[in-house]
A = this chain, B = another copy of it.
Amino acid sequence: MRYSNATNYALHTMVHLMLQPEDSAVGVQELAEMQHLSPTYLSKILTKLAKAGLIESTPGAKGGYKISRKKHEISFLDVIHATEGDTSLFDCSIHHEGCLIENVMRQAEENMKAELKSKLLINIAKEAEAKQK
């Protein structure tokens, strides 16, 4: 069980977009080169992020992607939900009433999600930027 590569790419892209000047759109071409990915592949991931409302896209010349207005509220969990979906990690198809096993597995997952929800991308981006200087 592993996070998909798509999640990794999404996180990096989000951090990068966070650090762009306001109102400057970045094209998938540039974003893909940065991470050594094919533009079409990254495009699929970006479309997911856009559908989740985390970034905004404008087609056409001078178009591209920029971070959404929610910039300062976006958590790791938001990005992960966009790429991985939000189904439970442990999904027993049976769901016996009040199942104790499920209870434990779900609670554990909640603990992970709580942490991911508490960490905002903007803070990581700023920290990373400060570090580089």
Q: Give A116 to B1 CA distance when docked, in angstroms.
A: 16
A90 within 8 A of B: yes
Kindly report how many copies of this chain are found in the complex they form together. 2
Known: A76-B105, A112-B111, A115-B107. A91 touches B124 (CB 8 A): no
Q: Give A120 to B75 CA distance when docked, in angstroms.
A: 32
Which residues between 91 and 122 of chain A lie within 8 Å of chain B, taking CB atoms? 91-92, 98, 100-101, 104-105, 107-109, 111-116, 119
Q: Is the interface of A mostly helix, strand, loop or mixed?
A: helix
Known: A2-B1, A76-B108. A92 touches B8 (CB 8 A): yes
A61 within 8 A of B: no
Q: Are B84 and A104 in contact (CB under 8 A)?
A: no
